[in-house]
Amino acid sequence: MPVDQQSLHLPTKPGVYLFKTRDGRVLYVGKASNLQNRVRSYFAKNPDRAMIPKLVEKSDNVDCIVTNSTNEALILERQLIREHKPRYNSRLKDDKSFPFIAITNEAAPRVMYTRHPPEGARLWGPFPDAGAAKRVIQLLRRHFGIRDCKELLPQGCLAMHIGLCAAPCIEYGNYDARVSAATQVLDGDGNALMTMLGNEMDEHSNGLRYEAAARSRDMIAAVRKTLSQQVIHSRFYQDCDAIGFASRGDLGTVVILCAEKGIVVGQVQYPLMHRGDIGESVSRVIAEHYAQRRPPKTVLVPAPIGDWMEEWLSEKRGSKVDVRVPKRGELVQLQKMADSNAEMLAMRNQNKESGSLEQRAADDAAILLNTERLDHIVCFDMAQLQGEGRVGASICLRNGRPDKKAYRTYTVKDDAQDDLGMMRGVVERWLKRQEEWPDLLLIDGGKVHLDEIHNLLIEHGLTDRVPLAALSKREETLHRINHDDLILDQRGRVLVFARDEAHRFVNGFHRKRRNKKGIADPLEEVDGLGAKKLQALLRHFGGRRGINHASQEDLCAVPGIGSALAQRIWQEIH
C-alpha cells in the first residue's frame, strides 16, 4: 500500500529520511535541512524525477533520523546508503572505499597501503587503481628503504635482509632524509626517480638482462600512472577539480579531473548506479571522493548540487570552496573535457556490463516473474538411494553466477525417509542460520513440495521476507503461491540453471558419501568407538576376523571397552 502523506509527522529539523517497505527493507535514503518540507515534495503532482512515483507507490512508511546539522546528515546519509544499498539511490558500484598511500607520523615513519588511514598520517589518494598504488609502495621501499612493519624489532626483520628496509630499528642514520625523498616523490616531483629508473632499465637492457629491464619498465609505468603526467596546461586551472558525468540507462560514470598550478595532473573514475538525478549522483561521488582528502578552491560540476554540499566542502577544506556550473571561458573547456572522458568511460562500462550474460539472464527472469530483481537465488535439492545416504544441498547464484563459497551440504539426521520430509528438515536448518535473505528461494519439486515449504515459512513468520518457488522438471513448470503455474521459456534460463546446478551438486555429494562408506570400516559407525579404541580391538584380537568371532564378554576384556559399547559393537557385527 503506498505511503500516506497525512500519516507522516516529521520534524522541521535537519536529518536523514528513509522510505521503507512493510518488512523493513529500505528503498531510498535522503538528506534534508528541513525534513518535513523535503519529504512533502515527494507527494507533489508533478515530481521532478521519474523514479518518485514508483518509490512512493512501493513504500509503506517513511522513517527519519534527526541530526544536529546538515553536515552530520550528509555523513549519516553516506553511511546508510553503504549499509542498506537502497534500490532507488544512486550508489557506487563498488561500495568499498578506495585505498590510500599513507606515511605515518611515528618516530620512524612507515608507509602503508590502507583503506582506513591512521590518525595524523600524511595521505595520498584515493587510488581507484589499487595495483598501481601497491607497486609505488614497492618502489618506495626498494629505492628509499621506507619500512612497512607494524613495530620496530631490535633484531631487524626479513625486509632489512633483502634490501627493502633501511632498518631504522637498528640504526636510524639518515632515515628522515629517506622519508623526505619518498614524500617528495608522492607529492608529484618524480623526475629524479624517473631518470634513475630509466638509466637502470637501459643498463639492464645493455647487459641483456631483459627480465630486470622489464621490471624497471613496469615500475616507470606504475609511477606515471599513480603520480600522473602533465596532460594539459592553463593559467586558469590553479586549484580546481572538474567533475564530468555521463550515463547509459542505470549505469552512470562520474569522472573527476584534478588540476593543480595550471596543470591537469590526474583523473579518477567512479562507476555507479544512476537513478535519474544527476545532482544526486554527483553529490554521492563528491561525498565519497573528498571524505579523506582536502577539497580544492574550485569545484566545477555538471549540475547544481545544493548549498549545503558547498558548505560541507568548505568545512572540509577550512576555507571557502567555490562550487559552480561553468557557462563560458576556459573553465567550460575543462568541464567539457571531464564530460567527454565520462562519456567515453560510460560507453566502455556499458559494453563491459552488457557482456555479462549471467546478469542479463537474472534480469530477464526478474522481468518474467514481475519482481524487482533476482540477483540472489538459493536453490535446494535432495538425494538418496533406497533410503541410504540421505543428503541435501543448497547452491547460491549471485548476479546469475554461482557463488561457490555459499554452497552448503546437509546430512539428513532425522527419521524422514521421503524427499518431502527430508527437504523440510534441511530448509529449516538453513533458515535458522540465515542472516541475509535471498531474492528467491527455489526448490526442486512440484506443488506438494511448494506447499510443505510454504507452511514451514508460515511457522517461522518468514513468508513476507523469503519469496518462494518450486521448479518441476515436467515441462520446466514453475509453481508459486497465489500465482498460476508458469512454463519457463528462454527468459527463465537462470532458474533452470539453478535447479540443474543444485541437482549436480547434491548428486556429487551423495556419490562421495557412498564411495567413502564403501571403503570405510562399518565399525566406524558405532557410537562411541573412535580410532584409538578400534585400534585397541584390532591389536587385542589380532585382526578383524578375531573381532567378528568375539562374544560380548570377550569384547569387554579389551581396555577402554565397557559393557554398553561392547553390546553396540556386537550388534553392529551381527
Whole-number Å distance between alpha carbons of 419 and 351: 44
Three cell numbers written together for 8: 507522516
Q: Percent helix, strand and coil across the chain, each rounded to 5? A: 45, 20, 35
CA 268, 272, 274 angle in degrees (round to 5)?
130
- Greatest CA separation for the chain: 103
Mean pLDDT (the chain, rounded): 80
Q: Inform me whether the pLDDT recorded for 420 exceeds 90.
A: no
The CATH class, in words, for 239-354 is alpha beta
The CATH class, in words, for 363-517 is alpha beta
Instruction: Tell me the per-residue pLDDT of 154-199, one tens digit each, with 9 for 90 and over.
Output: 777 777 777 778 788 888 877 887 787 777 777 666 666 677 778 8
Give the residue carrying C-alpha cell 523535503: 38
Instruction: Tell me the per-residue pLDDT of 212-227, one tens digit each, with 9 for 90 and over.
Output: 888 778 767 756 654 5
Asked if residue 493 lies in contact with residue 374, where contact means CB atoms within 8 angstroms, the answer is no
CA dihedral over 518, 521, 527, 531, signed as positive or negative: negative
Q: Inform me whether the pLDDT recorded for 442 exceeds 90.
A: yes
Asked if residue 282 lies in contact with residue 245, where contact means CB atoms within 8 angstroms, the answer is yes
Confidence of residue 98 (pLDDT cuts 50, 70, 90): low
Give the residue carrying C-alpha cell 558547498: 310
What's the pLDDT at 263?
Answer: 52
Instruction: Tell me the per-residue pLDDT of 372-386, one tens digit each, with 9 for 90 and over.
Output: 888 899 999 988 766
Least confident of 64-73, 84-93, 126-135, 411-420: 126-135
Q: What's phi and psi for 29, nearest 5 deg?
A: -125, 130
**Same fold flag, 239-354 and 363-517:** yes
**Short-list 70, 30, 78, CA closest to 289:** 78
Q: How many CB atoms lie within 10 A of CB 123?
A: 17
| Helix 210-227 × helix 175-186 angle, to 10° | 70
| 3-class DSSP assignment, residue 257 | strand
Give the residue carrying C-alpha cell 513448470: 477
Q: Inform me whether the pLDDT recorded for 342 exceeds 70.
A: yes
| Residues β-bridged to residue 388 | 385
Instruction: Tell me the per-residue pLDDT of 242-283, one tens digit each, with 9 for 90 and over.
Output: 888 988 777 788 888 777 655 555 567 788 777 777 888 888
- If you average pLDDT over residues 337-366, what whole number do you get? 75
What's the pLDDT at 188?
Answer: 60
Whole-number Å distance between alpha carbons of 32 and 308: 9
User: Who has greater pLDDT, 285 or 345?
Assistant: 285
Q: What is the CA radius of gyration of the chain?
A: 32
Confidence of residue 352 (pLDDT cuts 50, 70, 90): low
Q: How many residues does the chain have?
A: 574
Spans of all domains in the chain: 5-89, 100-227, 239-354, 363-517, 522-573
User: Who has greater pLDDT, 368 or 82?
Assistant: 368
73 class by beta-carbon count within 10 Å (0-12 exposed, 13-18 middle, 19+ buried): buried
Confidence of residue 235 (pLDDT cuts 50, 70, 90): very low
Confidence of residue 29 (pLDDT cuts 50, 70, 90): confident
What's the pLDDT at 435?
Answer: 78
Instruction: Tell me the per-residue pLDDT of 294-313, one tens digit each, with 9 for 90 and over.
Output: 888 888 888 888 787 888 88
| 3-class DSSP assignment, residue 273 | strand
What's the pLDDT at 224?
Answer: 63
Q: What's phi and psi for 261, nearest 5 deg?
A: 50, 45
Kind and range of the H or E element at 124?
A: strand 122-124
CATH classification for the domain delimited by 5-89, as one of 2.160.20.10, 3.40.470.10, 3.40.1440.10, 2.170.120.40: 3.40.1440.10
The CATH class, in words, for 522-573 is mainly alpha
What's the pLDDT at 478?
Answer: 92
The pTM is what? 0.39
Whole-number Å distance between alpha carbons of 301 and 298: 10
What's the pLDDT at 560?
Answer: 81
